[in-house]
Structure 1
C-alpha cells in the first residue's frame, strides 16, 4: 500500500502542479485582459477629454464671437443714431438761419444751378417773401405757386419739377453726408 500511497501522492502532486500552472496561466491571461481593458478605457477617456475640451473651446469661442457681434451691432446702432441726429440738427440749423444767412445759402445753390433745368422757382409759403430778392438777383422767376417743403426750393420747367428741398437733398445725398459726418465724428 505504500506504493499505492506514493502513486496517489505523486498524482495529487502532479495535479496540484497542473492546477497551479493553470491558475498561473489563467491569472496571467486575466491580468493581460484587465491591462488591455484598462488601456482601452484610458485611451477612450483621453479621447473623451480631448473632445470635451475641443467642444468647450468651440462653445467659448462661439460665445465670445456672439458677444463681439452684439457689441459691434450696439456700436453701429449708436453711430447711426448719432449720424441721424447730426443730419437732423444740420437741417434744423439750416431752417433756423436768419433771413440774410438763409438767402445767402439759397443764393449759392441758385448760382450753381443749371438754367437748362428751368427758371421758375417754387419755395415754401414762409420762404416766398424772404427769398424773392435772391431769386430775382440770380435771374430766376419766383413762382406764384408755393411748395409744401420746409426749406430749399423746387425748379419747375413745364410739368417737370426738380426738387432741391433740403429734405430731398438729404435723402438723395444721405449716404455721402453720413460718410462725411462719420469721418468728422468718429
Structure 2
C-alpha cells in the first residue's frame, strides 16, 4: 500500500512539474505572441502614419501648387486689366485734347496717310462738329504743297468711333481711328507700358 501511495504521489508530483512547465511555456509563448503582436501593431501604426504623412505632403504640395497657379492667374489678370486701362486712358486723353492741339495731330496724321489726294475722309460726329469743313480745306492746302491733288472730301456720314479718322478710296477703307491704331500696335505698346508700370 505504501508503494502504491508513493507511486501515486510520484505520478502527481511529475504531473505538477509537467503542468507547471507547460503553464510556464504557455505563458512564455503567450507573452511572445503578445510582444510580436505589439511589435507588428507598432510597425503597422508607423507604416500608416508614414503613409498618411506622405499623402498629406502630396496633398499640401498640390494645394500649394494650385494656389501659386491661381495667384499667377490673378496677377496676370490684374496686370492685363491695368494695361487695358492705361491704353484706354491714352485714347481718352487724345480725344480730350484742346481743339487746336487735336486738330494739328489729326492734320499731320491725315496728310501722311493720303495717297492720291482725292480720297474721302470719315470723321466722328464729335470731330465733324469741332473741326468743321475749314479743317478739310486746311488739309487740302497741306497735301497740295506735297504735290498731291488736294481734293479731299468730308464724308456725308459720321463714323461710329471716338477719335482719329478713316480714309476711304472707292470701296477701300484705311482705318486710322485711335482705337484701331492702339489695337494694331498693342504688342509694342504693351511692352512699353509693362516696362513703365512694372519695370519688366
1:61 aligns with 2:61: yes
Equivalent-residue separation in structure 1 for 2:100 and 2:177 (angstroms) = 18
2:158 to 147, 155, 159: 147
* Structure 1 stretch displaced more, 156-165 or 172-181: 172-181
User: What whole-Å deviation, never above 9, does each CA across 1:107-136 have from its counterpart, x for those lacking one?
Assistant: 4433543727x8432222433427425532
* Higher-RCO chain (CA-CA 8 Å, sequence separation at least 6): 2
Contact 1:125–1:147 (8 Å) recurs in 2: yes
Question: For the residues of structure 1 that align with 2:171 and 2:32, how far apart are their CA atoms?
Answer: 100
The answer for the alignment partner of 1:120 in structure 2 is 120
Question: Which residue pairs with 1:79 in the alignment?
Answer: 79
> Alpha carbons of 1:131 and 1:72: their partners in 2 closer, same or farther (altered >3 Å)?
farther
Q: Distance in 2 between matches of 1:73 and 1:99?
A: 42
Q: 2:136 is matched with which residue? A: 132
Aligned residues of 1:103 and 1:134 also touching (Cα < 8 A): no
1:64-107 deviations in whole A, cap 9, x for unaligned? Answer: 33333333333223222222221121111100112332233224
Question: Map of 1:32-47 to 2, 5 A cutoff?
Answer: 32-47=32-47
Structure 1 residues 153 and 174: CA distance shift in structure 2, 3 A: same
Query: Which residue matches 1:165?
Result: 177
Residue deviations 1:152-183 (CA, integer Å, cap 9, x gap): 11111211212111122233333443332122
Given the two structures, how large is their TM-score scaled by the length of structure 2? 0.79
- Say whether the 8 Å CA contact 2:123–2:155 is kept in structure 1: no
Look up the match of 1:185: 197
TM-score w.r.t. length of structure 1? 0.84
TM-aligned CA distance change 1:9 to 1:114, over 3 Å: farther
Aligned partner of residue 185 in structure 2, secondary structure? helix
CA–CA separation in structure 1 for the residues paired with 2:138 and 2:39: 95
After superposition, the CA RMSD in angstroms is 2.6
Q: State the number of aligned residues.
A: 186
5+ unaligned residues in a row in structure 2: which ranges?
A: none
